[in-house]
A = this chain, B = another copy of it.
Amino acid sequence: MIIKKTDKKLQEILDRGDIMEGEYLQTVLDIIANVRKNGDEALAEYTLKFDRYDIKKSGIEISKDEMKAAWDNLPERLKTALENAKKNVVQFHEKQLEATWMYEKSKGTFLGQKVTALESVGVYVPGGKAVYPSSVLMNVLPAKVAGVDEIVMVTPATGGQVNPVVLAAAYLAGVDRGFKVGGAQAVAALAYGTASIPKVCKITGPGNIYVALAKKMVFGKVDIDMIAGPSEVLIVADSTADPDYVAADMLSQAEHDELASAIVVTDSMELAKEIENSVYAQLAELPKKEIAAKSLERFGAIIVTDNLEEAADIVNDIAVEHLELCVEHPMEFMLKIRNAGAIFLGQNTPEPVGDYFAGPNHVLPTGGTAKFFSPLGTYDFQKKSSIIYYSKEQLMADMDDIRVLAESEELIAHRNSVIIRED
């Protein structure tokens, strides 16, 4: 697992999310066109085919009562944990709330920015084996905090069944309506609306390649969040790090799926060896050891550098989703970081603290996209309108500049709209 930063394995790790979208594109376009044209009929057809569930017979909507019942039936201990997580997530996301502002540019002339919540949001929750109630909280709560009026959840329900913990989390987070439909067809329904499913302003949430491509293709008709790729952690560790902690954190990433990646960057060859040994020792005890082993083999790496400066350069180059700084002076090291989804500082901040509990969002940019994307946040569910309020005096003062600029673009009616206001 120990490699040099020039090893070609590193590039293979970084490229692992590069999926050949082309193969799936026509299928997704056909599904979108069908849903747009035939609405619920198309949804019924796909849901019967892919989820073996007949929405015509058994219904498409998940009632509020079903969500509440799922919540009521949850073990008390899990309820408390979810409630505590909710409290933390809400507290952090309230700090991200933006507010309208305005300032007086000159006497009687005001400029500003009006901030309003999106009216409606659709949240995609994947079905299948890996069921993450924490994802429901992380997608829904920021929209709630922003003040979104209606939050719609869609999720594939194999045989009509939705995981009860997901339903409970939806209830706790405040989902307004839920629908048993998944895949590209669910995305299309949220983008265009059907008789059953309301058209929303924005679609968030992870999904498979069909879901990701469908989101991309409806972008512009609605807003979407990021295109999610496989998950990853990069841990910077110096000689003060505990190798068992670092190894445990690598494994917590590797158990996600075979495409997950766990990388350590350290300036200590001794630590590198200790981490490697500890990884294999801990791996043997894991229920998901087969998945984790495959992930580690293909996309796990321990890179030994000459010094920590070099480590910072590698970190900024890779722009990883989860960055752990298990170093003696994590605050100082953070100052050097430009590109990362979330930064976990110090020996006592393993990534799962952020996945579940601390408060910041666990929906983070993957595959190097932290160079330009941000974590999902309250700002994703607010939008802005510019405000311009000119006084007569300011308009007259600026008139000649505007005239010159309009004439340079040969837009004479633009010019006229200003000069007509001259007395």
Q: Which residues of A contact B (CB under 8 A)?
A: 22, 25, 29, 77-78, 80-82, 84-85, 91-92, 95-96, 101, 103, 105, 110-111, 113-114, 116, 118-119, 130-134, 165, 201-202, 216-217, 219-220, 222-223, 226-227, 244-245, 248-249, 251-252, 254-256, 282, 286-288, 292, 323, 330-331, 334, 337-361, 364, 369-375, 377, 379, 383-392, 394-395, 398, 400-402, 404-406, 408-418, 420-421
Return A20 CB to nearest CB of chain B, in Å: 11
Kindly name the residue among A201, A357, A375 whose own CB sees the greatest number of chain B CB atoms within 10 A: A357
Contacts known (A244-B420, A337-B114, A409-B134); A390 close to B96, Cβ less than 8 A: no
Are B219 and A354 in touch, CB under 8 angstroms? Answer: no
The answer to whether A387 touches B334, judged by C-beta atoms less than 8 angstroms apart, is yes
Q: Is the CB of B254 within 8 A of A413?
A: yes
| Given A244-B420, A245-B420, A420-B245, A388 contacting B354 (CB threshold 8 A) | yes
A-B pairs with beta carbons under 8 Å apart, 20 shown: A114-B337, A116-B338, A134-B405, A216-B216, A216-B217, A219-B219, A223-B372, A248-B413, A252-B413, A323-B385, A339-B385, A343-B385, A344-B388, A346-B390, A348-B391, A350-B418, A352-B414, A353-B402, A357-B402, A360-B386
State the CA gap A315–B26 with chains docked (Å). Answer: 37
Given the interface pairs A345-B387, A418-B350, A421-B347, the reply to whether A287 lies near B410 with Cβ below 8 Å is yes
